[in-house]
């Protein structure tokens, strides 16, 4: 789609009339001169262009008044070019060979043409000739340098930034390097050209070739191929195959780079694995069969991106490996075939011409200076190039980023240009595209700057273009259509466009007749003029078509930004050789600011919903929040509804608060505003007062929001004014009550603050803190002296609101609410960084050590870590999970939709709580750190509880069984575990299941039940086993709910297998130095290796050994060793009355172990496990004890045999029963 508007106008037009016989070629020289090649007398004439504005089409005859320099060419000039770099003319000349009667062409360079004087020119100054790279000139004079070619050149092009010349013959291109040389005898500096040690072989014969830096663009009627020549070593990370270079006429074929014959069927899976196909980057892209439905328009068929063209670099064999070159494909295009009357026809249209514009951007794209021979000294600014390829009536604009190794070719296409008539030539600069057609010049807008923003935005912190120019239309605009007739040449430059036309009925090639030529010199308007024309045109449509108005302003703003970013070449003054070029940048910052303000003002006044957009443009214009406020008041007063201004001020103020710069805050709140009282009067007041007055008049509800979302900055400076306004405001919202609470805390009225906070419902308070979580933290800055500037470093800590109302409050509901808010922003929104939050807790606990608030803060930290780890393990995939107690709910207090939307709206605060680079890691990498801290908290609390138990040990506190049940029931309300079958060792678990609560314990189902037989749980189980509920007394000091819960949680995590080795070593080291810790042995058992754990259990808690073995023994040898240990323990006691109980205990323990093995293992395994001894213990010992148990291993072997026999009988009965049932039923 093309919009037609008459906006763009050439700044001026001058006309010259000339009579020239056989004009064969022309080119511009430095915008002010034109070089004309006349074959009639083998002359190249340099003529000054007229700058006088002509209103008539006839113009004035300046042929005799303009200064002319001329010199003779050797042969007939067919093509003529001028290079600013080196200040030389390039010509392709030809003559007819007398011997072969065939045309012979030459490439010749004319240098020092500007040294001619008028008199010398009129007398035909002598022309000195030399072969490039062969002869050294002795003095500065007009010279002709001929390139040494052994073939007829068909194409010549050159690079304006390096002076290198590329000559083509058929499908082979030869490069000649431009060099500055010095005559060692006369010290004369001169230019010369040297043949490059390689040739470029294409897949087709081009009709036109262009060169810029190391990028080559060539095309014929059907193909366009753009590639760049790079060093092989530098391109090792890019997608270049071995077949892209060779050192002879043979292309090497290896197994990895073997070409694929595309004429036959190719395996799809195999080809998908390839990144390259026949030496070219390859990507499988299967088009949808629904393209027609989706709006595919065959009338705008852009060329296809293909991968069927190769480039071979043929190099000399004596080159070093480091200098080996290869070609990297950038883009390959092919004209599509078209259906005409249902018949697919190829070559219906042809590629007619191309234009290549190198793009040098202001921010450097490369920090190192390139020494590559094809790169210029400006290469560090070389971003890429824009390419316009044309057919007879259409043009297609592509933009290629040469600095990226992963350029998406589908995003290189920018626009298609349908012209009104057949095309002759094209040109574009950083602002406008000009196309010379049969009916005249057409000028269009383009989208080069859009892709610049897209490609360079991430590297140079430029916002995404979609976030800035939301209203920018994709349609291009035809902004000027100027008729010209019979134009044969269009010769453009950065400042003017020259047209050569003739309306003679005779052919210009007819000998003996002079042809009347008209030279039109069209001056391209400056960017200021273009903006003014766009702005005036847009202003006329503001009221009726506001969307069209902002579209034009955004397009012009983008055009100005591109004009600033892109550089232009100009001759360098006072250079050593006199022919150097420099890269200059356009200075139009004032215009850019003016354009930015115009766009921003539109959003504020006409589209307040796009307040974010206006703020972006105000920031581009370097306008502060004070300037934005004052600009609106100066231009509009209070005539317009300032809702857009209010939104912009809020956003701007939020952005300022992110800096945490107290000096900047002081400057803002000490600034004054000229605030209008009425239509005639104004008053000068402070900025803060003006904000409150504006908001209280037009948006009173926004005062509380601004106070809460400004990270305490607005409250710090305007607290009294805010309180005076809110305290008299009826029907206060939760946000306004929260502001009042913050004010009361500032005055140390903690009790009143707590009372007001209790009036807010729990769910409302949760949503409130989720939206305004920044009030939980305090931000301050302090200056850091530097040699160049003063830096500010942000200091983050818990706010008074957090410390006084949460961290020092022992209410479980209040603490749980606080942890839920932190967890939501740590895990879900990631606005609070985990490591940073842990650092805050560590600093707070260190400052509160020895105070009551220390224990409460430690409990909150423990609760937060438990919930964090529960969330982490709950979201892991099933094959990674070890947590079995996840059938319950996750963390309570889910967030409603409204606070979620508000949180997403406030994503600008995403990185508030970030202290170090560790915060950038994935959330999964934090769980080990959380686990370590949680283990330390558990051990610290166990130690403090153990010390507390020691102090209470001397008190006589007895409790009966009924009271014990009550204590355990209270403890169980904090637990939630899966409903599993309970064994005789699960009596505590049975009680917990019956009274399960809502908070899960991490890995509770992984906790081994034999731990219930370790202290301190052992005594509880013994009491629960007694049937008398009232007669048996129990020591109450051993029933500490917090101690038991902490120990259970610690044991569950240690049993899970998720504790890393370094954390386990840390815990073992802690236990080594704290042997009096309650539950010491049970914790050690979870960490020790198998053999050491067995020894510890046998030594201190032998009653648990069988349950431990059932859980951990995997090999038969383990059971054999256990039997030997139990035998040894029973036999080592001295036979006496005092040791009878010990001997009997180990005999019974050995019996239970053997019975377990006989009832669970096969006979072969049992025989392998049982020792060769006949007796369990020594007969001497056995005879002294009063035991009814057997002492023979044979008895337990019989148990195993009987069990297997009964299993076989059972299986046989089942099978027989099934057969009998089938027989009866049939």
- Ordered by start, the domain boundaries in the chain are 957-1112, 1116-1226
pLDDT band at 966 (very low <50, low <70, confident <90, very high): low
The per-residue pLDDT for 465 is 60
Q: What confidence score (pLDDT) does residue 1010 get? A: 86
Within 10 A of 326 (CB to CB), how many other CB atoms are there? 27
- Residue 685: predicted pLDDT: 86
pLDDT of 858 reads 92
Q: How confident is the model at residue 243 (pLDDT cuts 50, 70, 90)?
A: very low
Contact of 573 with 598, CB cutoff 8 Å: no
Torsion sign over Cα 434, 435, 440, 443: negative
Select the more confidently predicted residue: 344 or 986. Answer: 344
Distance in angstroms (rounded) separating the CA atoms of residues 752 and 742: 11
Calpha distance 417→433 (Å, rounded): 10
Give 999's pLDDT tier (boundaries 50, 70, 90): low
pLDDT tens, position by position, 628-649: 888 888 887 665 667 888 888 8
The residue to which tokens 């805390």 are assigned: 745
> What is the DSSP track for 243-262?
GGEESSSSPP--TTT----T
| Residue 1217 backbone phi and psi in degrees, to 5 | -60, -40
Question: What pTM does this model have?
Answer: 0.71
User: What's the pLDDT tens digit per position in 671-685?
Assistant: 888 887 777 778 888
| Least reliable range by pLDDT among 14-18, 503-507, 608-612, 1194-1198 | 503-507
Provide, rounded to the nearest whole percent, the portion of the chain with pLDDT above 90: 19
- So what's the pLDDT on residue 764? 92
**What's the whole-number mean pLDDT along residues 502-515?**
60
Comparing 609-618, 647-656, 1037-1046, the range with the smallest average pLDDT is 1037-1046
What's the pLDDT at 943? 92
Closest CA to 890 of 876, 880, 901: 876
Higher pLDDT, 703 or 209: 209
User: What are the contacts of 130-137 at 24+ separation with CB within 8 A?
Assistant: 132/176, 132/192, 132/193, 132/194, 132/195, 133/192, 133/193, 133/194, 133/195, 136/181, 136/183, 136/190, 137/183, 137/188, 137/190
Q: What is the per-residue pLDDT across 803-824, written as a single tens digit (0 to 9) for each?
A: 888 888 878 889 999 999 999 9
Helices assigned H by DSSP within 1026-1060: 1041-1055
Q: In the prediction, which pLDDT does 998 show?
A: 56
**pLDDT over 90 at 885, yes or no:** no
Does position 1079 have pLDDT exceeding 50, yes or no?
yes
Of the two residues 1216 and 436, the one the predictor is more confident about is 436
- Report the percent of the chain where pLDDT is more than 70: 74
CA gap 1011, 1086 in Å, rounded: 9
Using CA atoms in the order 540, 546, 548, 551, what is the torsion angle rounded to 10 degrees?
A: 110
The sign one gets for the Cα dihedral 296, 297, 300, 304 is positive
Which residues have CB under 8 Å from 115's CB, separation 6+?
Answer: 140, 141, 142
pLDDT value for 1181: 61
Identify the band that residue 134 occupies on the pLDDT scale cut at 50, 70 and 90.
confident
Least confident of 545-549, 1010-1014, 1098-1102, 1181-1185: 1181-1185
The pLDDT score that the predictor gives to residue 155 is: 92
Alpha carbon separation from 843 to 297, 455, 522, 847, 857 (Å, rounded): 65, 43, 72, 6, 11
Q: What pLDDT was estimated at residue 793?
A: 46
Average pLDDT score over the chain: 78
Q: Which of 245, 224, 225 has the alpha carbon at shortest distance from 234?
A: 245
pLDDT at 66: 65
Query: Nearest 5°: CA angle at 451, between 450 and 454?
Result: 95
Considering only CA atoms, which of 704, 746, 693 is closest in space to residue 729?
704
């Amino acid at each position: 789609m093309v919009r037609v508007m008459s906006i763009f106008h050439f700044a001026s037009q001058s006309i010259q009339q000339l009579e020239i016989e056989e004009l064969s070629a022309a080119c511009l020289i430095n915008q002010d001169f034109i070089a004309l090649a006349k074959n009639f007398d083998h002359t190249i004439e340099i003529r000054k262009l007229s700058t006088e504005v002509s209103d008539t089409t006839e113009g004035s005859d300046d042929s005799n008044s303009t200064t002319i320099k001329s010199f003779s060419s050797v042969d007939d000039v067919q093509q003529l070019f001028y290079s600013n770099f080196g200040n030389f003319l390039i010509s392709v000349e030809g003559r007819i060979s007398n011997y072969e009667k065939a045309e012979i062409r030459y490439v010749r360079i004319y240098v020092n043409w500007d040294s001619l004087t008028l008199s010398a020119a009129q007398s035909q100054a002598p022309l000195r000739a030399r072969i490039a790279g062969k002869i050294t000139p002795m003095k500065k004079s007009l010279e002709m340098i001929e390139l040494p070619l052994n073939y007829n050149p068909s194409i010549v092009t050159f690079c304006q930034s390096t002076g290198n010349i590329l000559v083509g013959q058929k499908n082979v291109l030869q490069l000649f390097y431009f060099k500055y040389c010095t005559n060692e005898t006369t010290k004369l500096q001169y230019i010369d050209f040297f043949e490059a040690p390689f040739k470029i072989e294409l897949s087709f014969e081009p009709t036109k070739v262009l060169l810029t830096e190391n990028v080559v663009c060539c095309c014929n009627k059907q193909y366009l191929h753009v590639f760049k020549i790079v060093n092989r070593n530098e391109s090792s990370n890019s997608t270049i195959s071995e077949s892209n270079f060779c050192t002879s006429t043979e292309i090497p074929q290896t197994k990895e780079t073997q070409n694929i014959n595309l004429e036959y069927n190719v395996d799809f899976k195999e080809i998908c694995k390839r990144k390259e196909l026949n030496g070219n980057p390859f990507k499988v892209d299967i088009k949808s069969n629904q393209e027609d439905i989706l709006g595919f328009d065959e009338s705008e068929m852009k060329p296809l991106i293909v991968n069927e063209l190769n480039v071979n670099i043929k190099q000399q064999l004596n080159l070093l490996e480091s200098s080996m070159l290869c070609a990297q494909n950038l883009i390959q295009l092919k004209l599509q075939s078209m259906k005409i009357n249902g018949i697919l026809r190829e070559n219906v249209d042809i590629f007619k011409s191309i234009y290549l514009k190198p793009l040098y951007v202001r921010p450097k794209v490369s920090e190192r200076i390139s020494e590559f021979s094809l790169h210029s000294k400006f290469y560090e600014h070389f971003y890429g190039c824009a390419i316009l390829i044309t057919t007879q009536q259409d043009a297609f604009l592509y933009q290629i980023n040469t600095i990226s190794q992963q350029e998406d070719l589908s995003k290189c296409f920018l626009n298609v240009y349908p012209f009104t008539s057949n095309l002759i030539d094209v040109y574009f600069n950083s602002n406008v595209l000009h196309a010379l057609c049969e009916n005249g010049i057409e000028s269009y807008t383009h989208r080069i700057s859009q892709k610049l923003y897209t490609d360079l935005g991430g590297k140079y912190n430029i916002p995404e273009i979609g976030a800035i120019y939301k209203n920018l239309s994709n349609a291009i605009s035809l902004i000027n259509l100027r008729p010209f007739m019979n134009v044969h040449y269009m010769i453009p430059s950065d400042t003017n466009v020259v047209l050569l036309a003739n309306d003679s009925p005779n052919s210009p090639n007819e000998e003996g007749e002079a042809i009347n030529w008209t030279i039109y010199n069209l001056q391209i308007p400056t960017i200021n003029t273009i903006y003014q024309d766009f702005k005036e045109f847009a202003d006329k449509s503001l009221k009726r078509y506001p969307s069209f108005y902002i579209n034009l302003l955004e397009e012009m703003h983008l055009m100005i930004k591109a004009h600033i970013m892109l550089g232009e070449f100009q001759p360098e003054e006072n250079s050593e050789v006199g022919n150097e070029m420099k890269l200059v940048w356009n200075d139009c910052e004032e215009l850019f600011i003016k354009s930015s303000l115009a766009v921003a003002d539109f959003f504020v006044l006409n589209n307040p919903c796009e307040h974010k957009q206006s703020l972006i443009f105000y920031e581009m214009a370097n306008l502060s929040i004070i300037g934005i406020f004052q600009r609106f008041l100066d231009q509009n007063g209070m005539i317009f509804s300032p809702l857009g201004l209010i939104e912009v001020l809020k956003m701007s103020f939020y952005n300022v608060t992110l800096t945490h710069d107290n000096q900047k805050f002081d400057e803002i709140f000490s600034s004054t505003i000229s605030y209008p009282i009425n239509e005639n009067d104004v008053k000068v007041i402070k900025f803060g007062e003006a904000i409150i007055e504006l908001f209280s008049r037009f948006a009173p509800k926004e005062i509380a929001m601004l106070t809460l979302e400004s990270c305490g900055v607005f409250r710090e400076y305007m607290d009294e004014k805010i309180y005076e306004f809110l305290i008299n405001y009826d029907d206060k919202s939760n946000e306004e009550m929260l502001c009042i609470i913050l004010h009361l805390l500032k005055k140390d009225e903690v009790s009143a603050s707590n009372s007001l906070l209790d009036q807010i419902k729990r769910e409302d308070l949760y949503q409130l803190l989720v939206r305004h979580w920044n009030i939980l933290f305090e931000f301050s800055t302090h200056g850091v002296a530097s040699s160049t500037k003063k830096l500010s470093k942000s200091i983050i800590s818990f706010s008074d609101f957090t410390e006084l109302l949460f961290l020092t409050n022992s209410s479980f509901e209040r603490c749980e609410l606080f942890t839920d808010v932190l967890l939501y922003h740590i895990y879900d929104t990631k606005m609070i960084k985990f490591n940073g939050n842990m650092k805050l807790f560590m600093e707070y606990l260190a400052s509160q050590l020895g105070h009551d608030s220390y224990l409460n803060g430690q409990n909150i930290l423990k609760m937060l870590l438990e919930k964090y780890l529960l969330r982490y393990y709950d979201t892991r995939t099933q094959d990674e999970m070890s947590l079995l107690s996840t059938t319950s709910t996750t963390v309570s207090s889910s967030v409603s939709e409204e606070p979620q939307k508000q949180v997403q709206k406030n994503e600008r605060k995403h990185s508030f709580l970030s202290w170090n680079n560790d915060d950038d890691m994935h959330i999964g990498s934090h769980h080990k750190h959380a686990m370590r801290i949680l283990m330390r908290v558990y051990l610290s609390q166990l130690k403090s509880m153990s010390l507390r138990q020691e102090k209470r040990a001397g008190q006589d506190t007895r409790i009966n069984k009924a009271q014990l049940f009550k204590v355990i029931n209270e403890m169980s309300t904090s637990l939630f575990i899966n409903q599993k079958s309970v064994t005789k060792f699960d009596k505590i678990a049975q009680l917990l299941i019956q009274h399960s609560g809502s908070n899960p314990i991490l890995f509770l189902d992984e906790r081994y039940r034999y731990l219930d037989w370790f202290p301190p749980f052992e005594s509880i189980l013994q009491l629960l086993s007694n049937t008398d509920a009232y007669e048996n007394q129990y020591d109450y000091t051993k029933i500490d709910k917090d101690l038991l819960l902490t120990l259970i949680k610690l044991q569950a995590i240690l049993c899970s297998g998720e504790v890393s080795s370094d954390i386990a070593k840390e815990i073992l080291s802690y236990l080594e130095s704290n042997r009096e810790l309650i539950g010491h042995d049970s914790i050690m058992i979870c960490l020790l290796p198998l053999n050491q754990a067995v020894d510890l259990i046998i030594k201190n808690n032998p009653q648990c050994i069988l349950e431990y073995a059932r859980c951990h023994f995997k090999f038969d040898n383990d059971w054999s060793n256990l039997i030997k240990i139990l035998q040894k323990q029973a036999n080592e006691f001295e036979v006496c009355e005092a040791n009878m109980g010990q001997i009997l205990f180990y005999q019974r323990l050995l019996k239970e172990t053997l019975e377990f093995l006989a009832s669970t293992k096969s006979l072969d395994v049992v025989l392998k496990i049982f020792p060769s001894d006949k007796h369990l213990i020594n007969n001497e010992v056995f005879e002294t004890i009063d035991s009814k148990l057997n002492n023979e291993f044979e008895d337990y072997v019989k148990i195993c045999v009987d069990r297997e026999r009964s299993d076989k009988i059972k299986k046989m009965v089942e099978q027989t029963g099934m057969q009998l049932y089938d027989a009866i039923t049939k």
